[in-house]
C-alpha cells in the first residue's frame, strides 16, 4: 500500500497503545525524524512511562518539532494522538511553519493492541486504556480531513501496515535540481509584441508547432543553448494580446522551455473562469473581451485548456539548489519552498501595511528591505521605473503595459535585458516614472544606512571563501562594538580592514632577533619558489578609498556628504582630524589616478588602496608623547648622569671600570633608541609633509585584485606614483629566488642596507597574493624588522646579549593564526562589497577583523 507524504510535512501517527506506531515509524523514517512522546517523557523525567511528566514531555516535543519545521525538516510525531485536542496543537504548529499536516492512522482492533501490551513489562495498565484509545480513534476517523490534515492514510489491518510503503513527494515548489541558466521575465500583461521581441533579443527562436503543445495553433519559443524562460506571472489583463501571451507561455511551459508562476491577475481570471464572483476591473475586462471574441466552437475548449493551465501554476519556485527563488510578488525567507494558503497569498499579493496611499492603492509592506535570506529572490508585481537590487532581491516589473519596458534578468549572469513598450496600453493609477533626484540613494543604500545590532553582537560564525567558518567570540565582539561605534568612520566606507602581520620566526644568529633568512626558510618549506621583498615603510597603515568624483562616491558607496573618498586607520578610524587637509589629500591622490590614466585602464570610478602613510608621528602623537619620548628622555638623562658620577669615582681611584663600561653602553643604546624613533617623526603642517606609499590595489569596480601577483600591484602603483612623486612613494622591492643562494644573499644584504640606513625593515610575500596549501592558507606576508627599529618595540636595551637571549623565547603561532583569519575576513569583505552585497554582509567581516584584534596576542609581534 502506497502512502504519499509530501517531503516537507508533519506526519502525525495516530494509534492506540500497542498498535505498533514506534515500530512503524522506525521502519519508514529516519530515527532523527521521529519524535516520540515516550522519549520526551524519558528526557524530562528519566522514565518513559511516567504519565506525570506528560505535560513537560509535550512541551519538549512541540519545541523540537517547531525547530525542525522551521528548518524545513520532515517530522514524525510518535504519540497516540487519539484526541482531537492533541492533534489540534500539532496542526497549528504545521500551519505556523507552512508545512503540510499528514495523518497516518494505525486503526487496529482493541484486542490486538491489548494482547501486545500484555507481552510488554512496561505497559502494565488496564484494558480500559486501550479501549478508550480505540474508541477515540473510531470517533475521529471521519473528521481528520476537516481537522486540517491534507493527507489521511488509514491502515486498518496488519497486512495494510506490513505492506505500507511511504512515497515522499517533492513539493511543487521544489525545483532545486533545475540549474538554468534562466531568463526571468517580468509582468507581461498581454504585451505579446514586446514579449516576442524580448524573447528574440534573448536569443530564443520560434519553433514549429507540435501536438504536445497545449495550444497547437500558436508558436512556442526555444533557446538553442537550452536556457529556460521563467515567467513571473500577470500574463493577462490590460494589454492587447492577452490570449496570445497565454498561449505562448503555456506552450513554452508544456515543452519544458519555460516555467511560470501565477500572478494575482492570473489568479483572478481563473476564479472568474471558474464562475466565482469577482469584480471585473483593473484590466480583467480586456481579458474577458478577448475570450468573448473567440468563436463559439473554439471558446469552450480554449477556456478549458486555459483553466487547466492556470490551475497548474505553482505559487513560487525554488531553483538551482536553493540559490534562486522566483515568485510574482516576492517571497520572504520563512516561506520559501513551503506550501500553504498564506504562502500562496504572499506570492500573489505580497504584504500590505493596511494603509492606503494618496492614489488609493494599498501601501505595500517592503518585505525586501528586511530580507536576510541567502537565496536570490526575483519578482515583479509592482511596476517600478528601474530594477534595483535590495538585499539580494530584485523586482523586474518595469511596467511594460504602462508604457515602460518589458525586462528580463539573465541568471546566473545577473544581467538585465529589456525592450521598450510600443505604447502606453493602460494609464497607470500611480505615475510610473518617479523623477529621481540626482545623488539620491538606491533602496539598498537607504537600507544600508542603518545596520542592525544582531549582525555584529554575540558569538558569530562567518563563512569566508578562503577559510571556512571563522568564529568571533562574544567578548571580542563586545570590545569591537565599542571601538567601532565610538571611533570608526561611516561603515559605508569601511569595506576592508588590514589584517595583522606576523614577524618572521625568531632568528638564532647572534645580535639578531629577526632576520630574512627565517622568512626565506618559511616560504621555501611551503614550496614557494619566489618571494618578493618589499621595503616596509615606517608610517601608519592607511586604507585609502578614492572615487573619480562625488557622484561615484554617492553611487557606489552611498555617501552623500560631498566627500570623494576617505583615508582610515587599521581600526577604521578616520585618519585626518582636519577635514580640509583630508580633502586636499584625497584630491591629490585622485588627480594622480586621473593623470596616470588609472580610471580608464581599470574601467572603474573608484579604488581602494592599501597604504602606509608617513610620517608615523602624524597618527602616533599620543604614543610618542606619552611613551616613546618620555622613556628616551628619562633614559638619556639618568644614564648620562650615572656615567658622569662613575667617571668621577674612577678618577678617585675607585674600581668601577666594568660598571662604567656597562653604563656607557646603556647610555649609547638610549641615544640609539631616541635616534630610532626620531627617524619616523616630522611635523605635519601642510600636505607637503605627508608621504603615501600604496602597496596593494585592493579593489576597483567589479574586481578584487587579489588574483594578481604582487609584482602586478607594484608595477601599477609605480605608474600612479609617477604622476605625483611629491606625495606618492613607489615601494622599493626585490624578487628573491628561494632556490638560489646568491639571490637570497642579495635579499639579505638589501635588508641590511635598508635597516642600517634607518629603515623599518621589509615585508616578504609569495609572488601570489593568496596561496593555499593542503593544510590551508599560508601566511600572505611576514615582516622582518631591522635591529634598530626593534628598539622602539622591545626597549632601548633589548640588544644586550643577556636580554636578547631571553627575548628569543617568543611564540608566533597565535599571531599567525590570527593573521590568517583576519586576512580571510578582509578578502571576504572586499569580495562581498565588489559583488554589491548588502552592507551588513561586508560590515560583518570588517567588524570581525576588529573583534579578532582584541584577542590577547603579544602586541610586539
Partner 1 sequence: MLLTISTTHSPATDLGYLLHKHPDRCQTFDLSFGQAQVFYSEATVDRCTAVLLLEIDPVRLVRGKSGFSLDQYVNDRPYVASSFLSVAIAQIFGSALSGRSHDRPDLVTRAIPLKATLSMVPCRQGQNFLHQLFEPLGYTVKTTQHSLDEQFSEWGESRYFSVELDAKIQLKQLLSHLYVLIPVLDEDKHYWVGEEEIEKLLQHGDGWLATHPEKVQITRQYLKRERTLTQAALAQLIVEETPNLDVAEDTHNQEEADIEKSVSLNQQRLEMVTSTLKQCAVKRVIDLGCGEGNLLRVLAKDNFFEQITGIDVSYRSLETAQKRLDQLLLGSKQRERIQLMQGALTYRDRRWDGYEGATLIEVIEHLDLPRLAALERVVFEFSRPKVAIVTTPNVEYNVKFIALANGTLRHKDHRFEWTRQELQTWANRVGQEFGYTVRFEGIGSNDPIVGSPTQMAVFEQSVL
Beta carbon of residue 686, minimum distance to partner 1 (angstroms, whole number):
15
| Pick 60 or 479: Cβ nearer partner 1 | 479
Distance, in Å, from the CA atom of 389 to the CA atom of 442, rounded to the nearest integer, reads 8
Q: Does residue 638 belong to the site contacting partner 1 (CB under 8 A)?
A: yes
Q: Which residue has the cell 538551482?
A: 320
Residues 451-480 that bind partner 1 (CB under 8 A): 451-457, 478-479
Beta carbon of residue 304, minimum distance to partner 1 (angstroms, whole number):
51
| Pick 323 or 678: Cβ nearer partner 1 | 678
| Pick 551 or 641: Cβ nearer partner 1 | 641
| Pick 161 or 614: Cβ nearer partner 1 | 614
Q: Does residue 793 belong to the site contacting partner 1 (CB under 8 A)?
A: yes
Q: Is 282 left (phi over 0), alpha (psi -120 to 50) or beta?
A: left
Distance, in Å, from the CA atom of 408 to the CA atom of 717, rounded to the nearest integer, reads 40
For residues 371 and 395, the answer to whether their CB atoms sit within 8 Å is no
For residues 777 and 823, the answer to whether their CB atoms sit within 8 Å is yes
Structure-block grid coordinates of residue 260: 511560470
Structure-block grid coordinates of residue 536: 616596509
Q: Which stretch binds partner 1 (CB under 8 A): 173-181, 444-452, 715-723, 749-757?
A: 444-452
Q: Does residue 858 belong to the site contacting partner 1 (CB under 8 A)?
A: yes
| Pick 685 or 739: Cβ nearer partner 1 | 685
| Pick 76 or 812: Cβ nearer partner 1 | 812
| Pick 16 or 543: Cβ nearer partner 1 | 543
Residue 136 CB-half CA count within 13 A: 20
Q: Does residue 678 belong to the site contacting partner 1 (CB under 8 A)?
A: yes
Beta carbon of residue 456, minimum distance to partner 1 (angstroms, whole number):
7
Count CB-CB contacts under 10 A for residue 426. Answer: 19
Q: Which stretch binds partner 1 (CB under 8 A): 256-264, 430-438, 714-722, 787-795?
A: 787-795
Q: Which stretch binds partner 1 (CB under 8 A): 103-111, 155-163, 207-215, 623-631?
A: 623-631
| Pick 218 or 682: Cβ nearer partner 1 | 682
CA nearest to 405, candidates 387, 392, 379:
387
Distance, in Å, from the CA atom of 821 to the CA atom of 836, rounded to the nearest integer, reads 23
| Pick 631 or 735: Cβ nearer partner 1 | 631
Structure-block grid coordinates of residue 47: 522514565
What single-letter DSSP state applies at residue 768?
Answer: B
Q: Does residue 795 belong to the site contacting partner 1 (CB under 8 A)?
A: yes
Beta carbon of residue 685, minimum distance to partner 1 (angstroms, whole number):
10
Total residues in contact with partner 1, by rule CB under 8 A: 67
Q: Which residue has the cell 525592450?
A: 419
- The dihedral over CA atoms of 607, 608, 609, 615, expressed in degrees to the nearest 10, equals 110
Residues 837-856 that bind partner 1 (CB under 8 A): 856
| Pick 416 or 814: Cβ nearer partner 1 | 814
Q: Does residue 580 belong to the site contacting partner 1 (CB under 8 A)?
A: no
Burial profile 297-322: b = 16 or more Cβ within 10 angstroms, e = fewer: eeeeebeeebeebbeebbbbbbbbee
For residues 100 and 6, the answer to whether their CB atoms sit within 8 Å is yes
x-or-dash string of contact with partner 1, 243-262, rule CB under 8 A: --------------------
Q: Which stretch binds partner 1 (CB under 8 A): 177-185, 424-432, 483-491, 739-747?
A: 483-491
Distance, in Å, from the CA atom of 616 to the CA atom of 758, rounded to the nearest integer, reads 14
Q: Which stretch binds partner 1 (CB under 8 A): 107-115, 411-419, 603-611, 617-625?
A: 617-625
Q: Which residue has the cell 525567507?
A: 333
Q: Which residue has the cell 581600526?
A: 571
Distance, in Å, from the CA atom of 367 to the CA atom of 347, rounded to the nearest integer, reads 12
Beta carbon of residue 654, minimum distance to partner 1 (angstroms, whole number):
5
Element (H, E) at 231: strand 228-231
Q: Does residue 632 belong to the site contacting partner 1 (CB under 8 A)?
A: yes
| Pick 125 or 487: Cβ nearer partner 1 | 487
Q: Does residue 164 belong to the site contacting partner 1 (CB under 8 A)?
A: no
Structure-block grid coordinates of residue 59: 512541551
373 burial class (0-12, 13-18, 19+ CB within 10 angstroms)? middle
Distance, in Å, from the CA atom of 262 to the CA atom of 532, rounded to the nearest integer, reads 59
Beta carbon of residue 363, minimum distance to partner 1 (angstroms, whole number):
14
Q: What is the DSSP string of 547-610?
A: ESSHHHHHHHH---SS--EEEE-TTSBBS-S-HHHHHHHHHHHHHHHHHTTHHHHHT-SEEEEE
Q: Does residue 486 belong to the site contacting partner 1 (CB under 8 A)?
A: yes
Q: Of 89, 201, 490, 591, which one interacts with partner 1 (CB under 8 A)? A: 490
| Pick 213 or 460: Cβ nearer partner 1 | 460
What SS3 string covers 797-820?
Answer: CCCCHHHHHHHCCCCCHHHHHHHH
Residues 639-668 that bind partner 1 (CB under 8 A): 639, 641-642, 645-646, 648-649, 652-656, 659, 663
Q: Does residue 803 belong to the site contacting partner 1 (CB under 8 A)?
A: yes
Distance, in Å, from the CA atom of 842 to the CA atom of 834, rounded to the nearest integer, reads 10
| Pick 520 or 798: Cβ nearer partner 1 | 798
Could you list the residues that contact partner 1 (CB under 8 A)? 449-457, 478-479, 481-482, 484-486, 489-490, 561, 574, 623-625, 627-635, 637-639, 641-642, 645-646, 648-649, 652-656, 659, 663, 674, 678, 681, 683, 792-798, 803, 806-807, 856-860
Amino acid at each position: 500500500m502506497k502512502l504519499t507524504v509530501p517531503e516537507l510535512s508533519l506526519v502525525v501517527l495516530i494509534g492506540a497503545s500497542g498498535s505498533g506506531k514506534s515500530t512503524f515509524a522506525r521502519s519508514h523514517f529516519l530515527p532523527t525524524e521521529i519524535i516520540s512522546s515516550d522519549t520526551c517523557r524519558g528526557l524530562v523525567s528519566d522514565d518513559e512511562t511516567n504519565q506525570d511528566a506528560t505535560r513537560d514531555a509535550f512541551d519538549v516535543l512541540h519545541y523540537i518539532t517547531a525547530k525542525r519545521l522551521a528548518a524545513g525538516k520532515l517530522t514524525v510525531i510518535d504519540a497516540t494522538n487519539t484526541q482531537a485536542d492533541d492533534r489540534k496543537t500539532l496542526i497549528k504548529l504545521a500551519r505556523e511553519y507552512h508545512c503540510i499536516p499528514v495523518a497516518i492512522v494505525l486503526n487496529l482492533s482493541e484486542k490486538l493492541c491489548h494482547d501486545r501490551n500484555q507481552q510488554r513489562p512496561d505497559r502494565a495498565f488496564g484494558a480500559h486504556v486501550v479501549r478508550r484509545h480505540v474508541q477515540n480513534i473510531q470517533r475521529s476517523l471521519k473528521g481528520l480531513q476537516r481537522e486540517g490534515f491534507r493527507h489521511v492514510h488509514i491502515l486498518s489491518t496488519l497486512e495494510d501496515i506490513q505492506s505500507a510503503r511511504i512515497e515522499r513527494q517533492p513539493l511543487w515548489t521544489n525545483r532545486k535540481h533545475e540549474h538554468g541558466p534562466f531568463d526571468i521575465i517580468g509582468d507581461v500583461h498581454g504585451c505579446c509584441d514586446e514579449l516576442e521581441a524580448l524573447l528574440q533579443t534573448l536569443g530564443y527562436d520560434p519553433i514549429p508547432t507540435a501536438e504536445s503543445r497545449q495550444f497547437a495553433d500558436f508558436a512556442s519559443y526555444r533557446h538553442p543553448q537550452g536556457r529556460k524562460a521563467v515567467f513571473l506571472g500577470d500574463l493577462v489583463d490590460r494589454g492587447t494580446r492577452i490570449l496570445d501571451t497565454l498561449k505562448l507561455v503555456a506552450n513554452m511551459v508544456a515543452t519544458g522551455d519555460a516555467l511560470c508562476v501565477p500572478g494575482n491577475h492570473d489568479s483572478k481570471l481563473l476564479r472568474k473562469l471558474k464562475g466565482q464572483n469577482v469584480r471585473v476591473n483593473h484590466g480583467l475586462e480586456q481579458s474577458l473581451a478577448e475570450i468573448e471574441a473567440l468563436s463559439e466552437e473554439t471558446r469552450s475548449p480554449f477556456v478549458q485548456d486555459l483553466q487547466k493551465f492556470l490551475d497548474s501554476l505553482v505559487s513560487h519556485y525554488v531553483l538551482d539548489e536553493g540559490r534562486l527563488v522566483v515568485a510574482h510578488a516576492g517571497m520572504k525567507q520563512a516561506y520559501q519552498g513551503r506550501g500553504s494558503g498564506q504562502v500562496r497569498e504572499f506570492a500573489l499579493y505580497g504584504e500590505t501595511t493596511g494603509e492606503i496611499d494618496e492614489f488609493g492603492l494599498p501601501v505595500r509592506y517592503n518585505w525586501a528591505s528586511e530580507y536576510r535570506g541567502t537565496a536570490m529572490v526575483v519578482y515583479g508585481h509592482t511596476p517600478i521605473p528601474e530594477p534595483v537590487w535590495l538585499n539580494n532581491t530584485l523586482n523586474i516589473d518595469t511596467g511594460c503595459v504602462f508604457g515602460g519596458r518589458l525586462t528580463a534578468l539573465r541568471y546566473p549572469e545577473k544581467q538585465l535585458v529589456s525592450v521598450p513598450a510600443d505604447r502606453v496600453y493602460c494609464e497607470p493609477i500611480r505615475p510610473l516614472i518617479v523623477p529621481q533626484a540626482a545623488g539620491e540613494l538606491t533602496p539598498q543604500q537607504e537600507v544600508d544606512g542603518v545596520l542592525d545590532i544582531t549582525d555584529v553582537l554575540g558569538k558569530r560564525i562567518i563563512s569566508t571563501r578562503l577559510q571556512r567558518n571563522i568564529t568571533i567570540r562574544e567578548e571580542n565582539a563586545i570590545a569591537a562594538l565599542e571601538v567601532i561605534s565610538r571611533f570608526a568612520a561611516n561603515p559605508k566606507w569601511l569595506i576592508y580592514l588590514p589584517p595583522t602581520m606576523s614577524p618572521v620566526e625568531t632568528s638564532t644568529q647572534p645580535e639578531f632577533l629577526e632576520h630574512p633568512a627565517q622568512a626565506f626558510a618559511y616560504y621555501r618549506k611551503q614550496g614557494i619558489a619566489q618571494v618578493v621583498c618589499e621595503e616596509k615603510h615606517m608610517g601608519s597603515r592607511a586604507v585609502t578609498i578614492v572615487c573619480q568624483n562625488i557622484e561615484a562616491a554617492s553611487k557606489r558607496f552611498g555617501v552623500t556628504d560631498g566627500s570623494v573618498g576617505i583615508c582610515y586607520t587599521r581600526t577604521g578610524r578616520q585618519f585626518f582630524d582636519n577635514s580640509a587637509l583630508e580633502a586636499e589629500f584625497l584630491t591629490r591622490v585622485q588627480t594622480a589616478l586621473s593623470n596616470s590614466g588609472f580610471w580608464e585602464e581599470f574601467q572603474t570610478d573608484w579604488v581602494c588602496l592599501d597604504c602606509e602613510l608617513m610620517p608615523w608621528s602624524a597618527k602616533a602623537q599620543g604614543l610618542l608623547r606619552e611613551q616613546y619620548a618620555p622613556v628616551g628622555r628619562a633614559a638619556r638623562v639618568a644614564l648620562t648622569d650615572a656615567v658622569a658620577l662613575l667617571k668621577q669615582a674612577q678618577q678617585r681611584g675607585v674600581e668601577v671600570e666594568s660598571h662604567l663600561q656597562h653604563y656607557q653602553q646603556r647610555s649609547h643604546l638610549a641615544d640609539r633608541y631616541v635616534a630610532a624613533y626620531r627617524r619616523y617623526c616630522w611635523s605635519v603642517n601642510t600636505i607637503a609633509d605627508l608621504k603615501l606609499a600604496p602597496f596593494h590595489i585592493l579593489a576597483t569596480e567589479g574586481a578584487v585584485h587579489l588574483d594578481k601577483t604582487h609584482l602586478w600591484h607594484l608595477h601599477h602603483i609605480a605608474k600612479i606614483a609617477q604622476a605625483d612623486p611629491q606625495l606618492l612613494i613607489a615601494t622599493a622591492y626585490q624578487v628573491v629566488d628561494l632556490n638560489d643562494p646568491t639571490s637570497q644573499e642579495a635579499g639579505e644584504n638589501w635588508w641590511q642596507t635598508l635597516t642600517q640606513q634607518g629603515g623599518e625593515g621589509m615585508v616578504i610575500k609569495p609572488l601570489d597574493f593568496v596561496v593555499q596549501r593542503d593544510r590551508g592558507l599560508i601566511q600572505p606576508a611576514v615582516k622582518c624588522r631591522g635591529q634598530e627599529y626593534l628598539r622602539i618595540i622591545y626597549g632601548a636595551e633589548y640588544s644586550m646579549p643577556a636580554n636578547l637571549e631571553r627575548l628569543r623565547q617568543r611564540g608566533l603561532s597565535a599571531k599567525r593564526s590570527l593573521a590568517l583569519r583576519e586576512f580571510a575576513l578582509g578578502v571576504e569583505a572586499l569580495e562581498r562589497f565588489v559583488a554589491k552585497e548588502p552592507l551588513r554582509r561586508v560590515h560583518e567581516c570588517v567588524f570581525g577583523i576588529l573583534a579578532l584584534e582584541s584577542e590577547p596576542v603579544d602586541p610586539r609581534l
